Structures are given as C-alpha cells and as structure tokens.
Amino acid sequence: MSEAIRLSEYPRAKRIDERQPPELRFSERAVQELERIKRHYPNKRAAMLPALWIAQREYGGHLPPEALMEVAYRLGTSYAVVEGVATFYTMYNKRPVGRVMLEVCTNLTCSICGGYEILRHLEEKLGIRAGETTPDGQFTLVEVECLNDCGNAPVMQVGNRYFGRLTPEKVDALLEELKNSEEHTVVQLADTIVQCHLSESERQDIERALAKAQAGSGGQDGQNG
C-alpha cells in the first residue's frame, strides 16, 4: 500500500490538557524580571522575545518544550504560538547545547579571509563536526552566516563577544581561556540580553525585591504569573 495511505505507523498524537498549568521553573529573579518587562508593552504577549531569553537562561542554555510551555503560560498564550516564535529565531536553542557556543562565520568576507580554515581547525581541535557538541558538554561548534563584522574577518561569536582577525593560534589560546572562564557562556549571553531589556532603576528594584524576599524568606512566595 502506498506510504500515503498508511496512517497507523505513526504513534497516536499525545494530548495536552490546556487547562492544566504546566510545571513552572522560573526562579524568583526571573519572575521579577518578566513582571517588569511585561510592563513595557501594550499586551503581555508582546514580551515574548525577552521572555524566551529569560527562559533560555533559566533552563540552562536551551529551550526544551517545558520552557516553551512555561513562557506560554506566563504570557497567556498558546504553546504552539510560542513554539512558532522560538523556532523562527535561530538564536533560541531548541536543542541542548554546550556551555559555550562557538559560532564561526563562513560567509563571503570571512571565507575569503580564512573562515573555513578556522572552522576546520576547530573541528579538528575539538574532535567534532560543525553543529555538534563536545562529549564533555563544553563546546558547541556552529557555522553561521555573516555576523556583520566583516572588517575583522574571519570572525567568531562566542556568547556575548565577537573575536575577530582569528588565526589558528589565537583560537587555541582562546579555547584555553574559555575552558576556565565563566565569561561568554550561552547562559551569560541570555542574561546579557535580558539585562538589556531592563533599565537601571528596574534592575535595582529587582535587587531590592529579591533582598526583601530573602529577608522574609519562607513567607510570601512571590507574585507568580
């Protein structure tokens, strides 16, 4: 029988009860941040992009389905809509990634200036192919399009920083540095972006609120939602 006629080979689609709130894992800080960011927009759904960044940070660098559900619930929209947005943008990681993400540009300028050599070098050095993660979960290597820093080609983005005019030697040194550093990680990038969405006074507010909650800990369990 034609492939098109056989339906039974697919497992039955799982059903989700939308009336059941999903499991919520945002930290108190995340809740506070989202609360404030929501106020920047005419409706809370418009806060979807920063909310996804918060989620990416809270869920350790990528967005598992549970993270999408939590964001949908907190913004009062459907799971599918959030998944649609999250999958539209490439900087939201839908699959687990390493602690640090190495995004090597191989677009026109960079490839002329040796972008592919950098990529190959990294592949060899880390023992993985572009798109893969090292077994120890340290690095994920990705090939990306123009990072808009052609003047410094070849360029690589690592978390919240660009590294340009790369040579294999520079890359080696950088790898050593990154291994032992808390800087430029995937989670840190997410946090940097979240902080960009908050004003100085909002950030102070959050600190105060958190300190207060800390002081009276065990009492109020924050304003969820």
Partner 1 sequence: MAEQELVTIEINGIELQVPKGEMIIESAKRIGVDIPFFCYHPRLGKEQAANCRMCLVEAGTKQPDGSVRMMPKPQTSCTLPASQGLVVFTDTVAIQKARRGILEFLLINHPLDCPICDRGGECPLQNNTLFYGPGVSRFVEEKRHLPKAFPISDYVVLDRERCIHCARCTRFSQEISGDAQLEFLKRGADTMVSTFQNTEFTSRFSGNTIELCPVGALTSRVYRFRARPWDMKSQKSICTRCSNGCNIWLDYRPNRLVRVLGRENEAVNEEWTCDRGKFGHEYISSDRRLLSPLVRRDNRFVTASWVEVYQLIASRIRQAVEERGAGAVGAIGGAHLSNEEAYLLQKLMRVAVGTNNIDHRLERNQVAGGDTLLARLGVPFTQTAIADIEKAKTIFIFGADLVDEQPIVFLRARKAWFRFGAKVIIAHPEPTETELRFDEPLVLRYRAGTETTLINGLSHLILQSGRAVTDGISLEELQASLSEYTPARVAQETGVAEDALREAANLLGEGTVILCAGRVRNHPEYAVLANALVNLTLLTGNGSRGNGGLNILLPEVNSHGAADMGVLPDLLPGYVPVNDREARERIERIWKASLPAEPGLSTQGMLEAAAEGKLQVLYVIGEDIAQKYHDPELAQRALENAGFVIVQDLFLTDTAQYADVVLPAASVAEKEGTFTNTERRVQRFWKAMNPPSPDVKPDLNIFAELAVYLGKPLPVFSAEQVMEEIGQVFPAYAECCYDQMPAEGVRWMPTLTDRGK
Residues contributing to the site for ligand FES (CB under 6 A): 105, 107-110, 146-150, 153, 155
- Name the binder of 87 from partner 1, ligand FES, none, CB < 5-8 A by kind: partner 1
| Contact positions with partner 1 (CB under 8 A) in 29-58 | 43
# residues contacting partner 1 (CB under 8 A): 28
Shortest distance, CB of residue 163 to ligand FES, whole angstroms?
A: 11
| Contact positions with partner 1 (CB under 8 A) in 68-127 | 68-69, 76-81, 83-84, 87-88
Q: Which of 141, 154, 53 is nearest to 111 (CA)?
A: 154
The DSSP result for the chain, as a single string, is --TTT--TTSPPPP---TTSPPP----HHHHHHHHHHHTTSSSGGGGHHHHHHHHHHHTTSS--HHHHHHHHHHHT--HHHHHHHHHHSTTS-SS---SEEEEEE-SHHHHHTTHHHHHHHHHHHHT--TT-B-TTSSEEEEEES--S-GGG-S-EEETTEEE-S--HHHHHHHHHHHHT-STT-HHHHHHHHHHHTS-HHHHHHHHHHHHHHHHTTTS------
Asked if residue 10 binds partner 1 (CB under 8 A), the reply is: yes
Q: How far apart are CA 41 and CA 29, in angstroms?
A: 20
Rank residues 18 and 207 by Cβ distance to partner 1 and give the closer one: 18
Shortest distance, CB of residue 103 to ligand FES, whole angstroms?
A: 10
- Name the binder of 108 from partner 1, ligand FES, none, CB < 5-8 A by kind: ligand FES
Torsions phi, psi of 49, nearest 5? Answer: -65, -55
- Name the binder of 168 from ligand FES, partner 1, none, CB < 5-8 A by kind: none
- Name the binder of 155 from partner 1, ligand FES, none, CB < 5-8 A by kind: ligand FES
- Name the binder of 175 from ligand FES, partner 1, none, CB < 5-8 A by kind: none
Rank residues 42 and 219 by Cβ distance to partner 1 and give the closer one: 42
Asked if residue 162 binds partner 1 (CB under 8 A), the reply is: no
Please give the residue ranges that form the binding site for partner 1 (CB under 8 A): 2-7, 10, 12-16, 18-19, 43, 65, 68-69, 76-81, 83-84, 87-88
